Amino acid sequence: MSKQSPWYYIIQWIRCYFGAHLLFSGIRYAATGYVPEIPGVGGEWVQANANIYLYQMIKYLEIVTGLLILSGRFTLLGLILEFPATVNIFWLNTFIVATPRQLFTGPQELFLNGVLLLAYSGWMAAVLRPKLEPLWLWEGWRAYRPIVNGDIAEAPKTRSNPIASEVH
Protein backbone atom coordinates (compact mmCIF):
# COMPACT_ATOMS: atom_id res chain seq x y z
CA MET A 1 0.00 0.00 0.00
CA SER A 2 1.65 3.19 -1.11
CA LYS A 3 1.60 6.41 0.88
CA GLN A 4 -0.28 8.07 -1.99
CA SER A 5 -3.28 5.79 -1.44
CA PRO A 6 -6.04 7.13 0.81
CA TRP A 7 -6.26 3.61 2.29
CA TYR A 8 -2.76 4.04 3.71
CA TYR A 9 -3.92 7.01 5.77
CA ILE A 10 -7.16 5.31 6.79
CA ILE A 11 -5.21 2.29 8.07
CA GLN A 12 -2.75 4.56 9.90
CA TRP A 13 -5.65 6.38 11.58
CA ILE A 14 -7.26 3.07 12.60
CA ARG A 15 -3.88 1.84 13.91
CA CYS A 16 -3.42 4.96 16.03
CA TYR A 17 -7.01 4.87 17.31
CA PHE A 18 -6.86 1.17 18.26
CA GLY A 19 -3.41 1.51 19.84
CA ALA A 20 -4.51 4.54 21.87
CA HIS A 21 -7.70 2.74 22.92
CA LEU A 22 -5.73 -0.25 24.21
CA LEU A 23 -3.11 1.92 25.89
CA PHE A 24 -5.77 4.06 27.61
CA SER A 25 -7.73 0.99 28.77
CA GLY A 26 -4.62 -0.67 30.20
CA ILE A 27 -3.23 2.46 31.87
CA ARG A 28 -6.66 3.34 33.32
CA TYR A 29 -6.73 -0.05 35.02
CA ALA A 30 -3.07 0.12 36.15
CA ALA A 31 -3.52 3.60 37.62
CA THR A 32 -6.95 3.25 39.20
CA GLY A 33 -7.92 -0.42 39.28
CA TYR A 34 -11.07 0.53 37.33
CA VAL A 35 -13.18 -2.44 36.27
CA PRO A 36 -16.37 -1.57 34.36
CA GLU A 37 -19.63 -2.64 35.98
CA ILE A 38 -20.84 -5.62 33.97
CA PRO A 39 -24.26 -7.09 34.75
CA GLY A 40 -25.18 -10.75 35.10
CA VAL A 41 -23.09 -13.78 34.31
CA GLY A 42 -20.64 -11.64 32.30
CA GLY A 43 -19.77 -9.72 35.45
CA GLU A 44 -19.33 -12.96 37.37
CA TRP A 45 -17.01 -14.21 34.64
CA VAL A 46 -14.92 -11.00 34.72
CA GLN A 47 -14.71 -11.25 38.53
CA ALA A 48 -13.61 -14.90 38.29
CA ASN A 49 -10.87 -13.83 35.86
CA ALA A 50 -9.80 -11.10 38.28
CA ASN A 51 -9.67 -13.65 41.11
CA ILE A 52 -7.11 -15.71 39.20
CA TYR A 53 -5.27 -12.56 37.96
CA LEU A 54 -6.13 -13.18 34.31
CA TYR A 55 -8.03 -9.88 34.05
CA GLN A 56 -5.00 -7.99 35.39
CA MET A 57 -2.67 -9.78 32.98
CA ILE A 58 -4.91 -8.82 30.04
CA LYS A 59 -4.91 -5.17 31.13
CA TYR A 60 -1.10 -5.08 31.35
CA LEU A 61 -0.93 -6.85 27.99
CA GLU A 62 -3.15 -4.07 26.62
CA ILE A 63 -0.50 -1.54 27.69
CA VAL A 64 2.21 -3.47 25.85
CA THR A 65 0.15 -4.15 22.73
CA GLY A 66 -1.19 -0.59 22.73
CA LEU A 67 2.37 0.75 22.75
CA LEU A 68 3.43 -1.61 19.95
CA ILE A 69 0.46 -0.74 17.76
CA LEU A 70 0.46 2.99 18.49
CA SER A 71 4.22 3.36 17.96
CA GLY A 72 4.13 1.54 14.63
CA ARG A 73 6.94 -0.74 15.84
CA PHE A 74 6.17 -4.46 15.88
CA THR A 75 2.59 -3.59 14.92
CA LEU A 76 1.76 -7.05 13.60
CA LEU A 77 3.11 -8.68 16.76
CA GLY A 78 0.91 -6.40 18.88
CA LEU A 79 -2.16 -7.19 16.76
CA ILE A 80 -1.55 -10.94 17.00
CA LEU A 81 -0.98 -10.81 20.77
CA GLU A 82 -4.15 -8.78 21.28
CA PHE A 83 -6.39 -10.89 19.03
CA PRO A 84 -7.35 -13.61 21.57
CA ALA A 85 -8.42 -10.92 24.05
CA THR A 86 -10.29 -9.13 21.24
CA VAL A 87 -12.29 -12.25 20.38
CA ASN A 88 -13.01 -12.78 24.07
CA ILE A 89 -14.21 -9.16 24.48
CA PHE A 90 -16.35 -9.42 21.35
CA TRP A 91 -18.03 -12.65 22.49
CA LEU A 92 -18.62 -11.48 26.05
CA ASN A 93 -19.90 -8.03 25.09
CA THR A 94 -21.99 -9.04 22.09
CA PHE A 95 -23.58 -12.33 23.06
CA ILE A 96 -23.33 -12.66 26.86
CA VAL A 97 -23.84 -9.14 28.26
CA ALA A 98 -25.36 -7.35 25.24
CA THR A 99 -26.07 -4.01 26.94
CA PRO A 100 -25.87 -0.90 24.69
CA ARG A 101 -22.33 -0.03 25.85
CA GLN A 102 -21.10 -3.56 25.29
CA LEU A 103 -22.89 -3.85 21.94
CA PHE A 104 -20.73 -0.92 20.81
CA THR A 105 -17.37 -1.89 22.31
CA GLY A 106 -17.35 -5.60 21.47
CA PRO A 107 -17.94 -5.33 17.71
CA GLN A 108 -15.76 -2.19 17.54
CA GLU A 109 -12.83 -4.05 19.06
CA LEU A 110 -13.18 -6.99 16.66
CA PHE A 111 -13.61 -4.67 13.67
CA LEU A 112 -10.52 -2.58 14.47
CA ASN A 113 -8.26 -5.55 15.20
CA GLY A 114 -9.63 -7.51 12.22
CA VAL A 115 -9.18 -4.69 9.72
CA LEU A 116 -5.63 -4.05 10.93
CA LEU A 117 -4.74 -7.74 10.81
CA LEU A 118 -6.06 -7.83 7.25
CA ALA A 119 -4.09 -4.70 6.32
CA TYR A 120 -0.86 -6.21 7.69
CA SER A 121 -1.62 -9.79 6.56
CA GLY A 122 0.78 -9.67 3.62
CA TRP A 123 3.58 -10.06 6.16
CA MET A 124 2.05 -13.39 7.22
CA ALA A 125 2.09 -14.93 3.73
CA ALA A 126 4.16 -17.90 4.91
CA VAL A 127 1.28 -18.94 7.16
CA LEU A 128 -0.75 -19.62 4.03
CA ARG A 129 1.79 -22.03 2.52
CA PRO A 130 0.47 -25.58 2.75
CA LYS A 131 3.83 -27.08 3.73
CA LEU A 132 6.66 -25.45 5.63
CA GLU A 133 9.83 -26.83 7.11
CA PRO A 134 11.06 -25.69 10.55
CA LEU A 135 12.83 -22.34 10.38
CA TRP A 136 14.48 -20.82 13.46
CA LEU A 137 13.78 -17.18 14.20
CA TRP A 138 17.44 -16.23 13.69
CA GLU A 139 17.27 -17.71 10.18
CA GLY A 140 14.10 -15.79 9.36
CA TRP A 141 15.79 -13.98 6.49
CA ARG A 142 15.54 -17.27 4.58
CA ALA A 143 11.74 -16.94 4.55
CA TYR A 144 12.10 -14.26 1.90
CA ARG A 145 13.90 -16.63 -0.48
CA PRO A 146 11.88 -18.55 -3.08
CA ILE A 147 11.10 -22.23 -2.58
CA VAL A 148 12.69 -24.37 -5.31
CA ASN A 149 11.88 -28.10 -5.41
CA GLY A 150 10.73 -28.01 -1.80
CA ASP A 151 13.92 -26.33 -0.50
CA ILE A 152 14.64 -22.69 0.27
CA ALA A 153 16.83 -21.28 -2.50
CA GLU A 154 20.19 -19.97 -1.39
CA ALA A 155 21.37 -16.48 -2.20
CA PRO A 156 22.92 -16.22 -5.65
CA LYS A 157 26.70 -16.41 -5.65
CA THR A 158 28.35 -13.24 -6.89
CA ARG A 159 31.64 -13.39 -8.70
CA SER A 160 34.29 -11.11 -7.43
CA ASN A 161 35.60 -8.58 -9.88
CA PRO A 162 38.81 -10.17 -11.28
CA ILE A 163 40.23 -6.78 -12.18
CA ALA A 164 39.70 -5.35 -8.70
CA SER A 165 41.27 -8.42 -7.07
CA GLU A 166 44.47 -8.03 -9.12
CA VAL A 167 45.00 -4.44 -8.00
CA HIS A 168 47.17 -4.28 -4.89
DSSP string, 143-162: GGSPEETTEEPPPPP----H
Instruction: Give residue 56's pLDDT.
Output: 95
Q: Is residue 159 part of a domain?
A: no
**Domains in the chain: how many in total?**
1
Closest by CA position to 44, among listed 34, 33, 28, 55: 55
Phi, psi of 148 (to 5 degrees): -125, 120
User: pLDDT band at 158, cuts 50/70/90?
Assistant: low
pLDDT higher than 80, residue 151: no
Instruction: Give residue 123's pLDDT.
Output: 87
pLDDT in tens, 92-132: 999 998 888 788 888 999 999 999 999 999 888 777 778 88
Q: Is residue 91 part of a domain?
A: yes
Whole-model pTM over 0.85: no
Q: Is residue 156 part of a domain?
A: no
Domain limits for position 65 = 6-128
Q: Is residue 124 part of a domain?
A: yes
pLDDT higher than 90, residue 53: yes
Instruction: Give residue 142's pLDDT.
Output: 78
Q: Is residue 166 part of a domain?
A: no
Q: For residue 72, is it left (φ>0), alpha (ψ between -120 and 50) or beta?
A: left
Instruction: Give residue 83's pLDDT.
Output: 97
Q: Is residue 145 part of a domain?
A: no
Cβ neighbors of 83 (< 8 A, separation 6 or more) are: 113, 117
pLDDT higher than 70, residue 33: yes
Q: Is residue 28 part of a domain?
A: yes
